[in-house]
Amino acid sequence: MKLVIQPQGTMAIYEQIVNQLKNAIVSGELTAGEALPSIRGLAGELQVSVITTKRAYEELEKEGLIRSAPGKGFYVCEYNTDYLKEKQLMLLEERLGELITAAKSAGISCEELLEMTQTLYEST
pLDDT of residue 91: 83
Give yes or no for residue 13 having a pLDDT over 80.
Answer: yes
Which residue would you say has higher pLDDT here, 25 or 62?
62
For residue range 27-42, what is the model confidence (pLDDT) as tens digits? 889 988 999 999 999 9
pLDDT of residue 14: 96
Number of domains in the chain: 2
* Residue range(s) defining the domain that contains residue 96: 81-123
The answer to whether residue 6 sits within a structural domain is no
Is residue 63 located within the same domain as residue 107? no
pLDDT of residue 47: 95
d(CA 77, CA 98): 32
DSSP 67-93: EEETTTEEEEPP--HHHHHHHHHHHHH
Is residue 50 located within the same domain as residue 34? yes
For residue range 70-105, what is the model confidence (pLDDT) as tens digits? 999 999 988 666 777 787 788 889 999 999 999 999
pLDDT of residue 81: 67
Strand, coil or helix: 10: coil
CATH number, domain of 26, equals 1.10.10.10
Is residue 57 located within the same domain as residue 28? yes
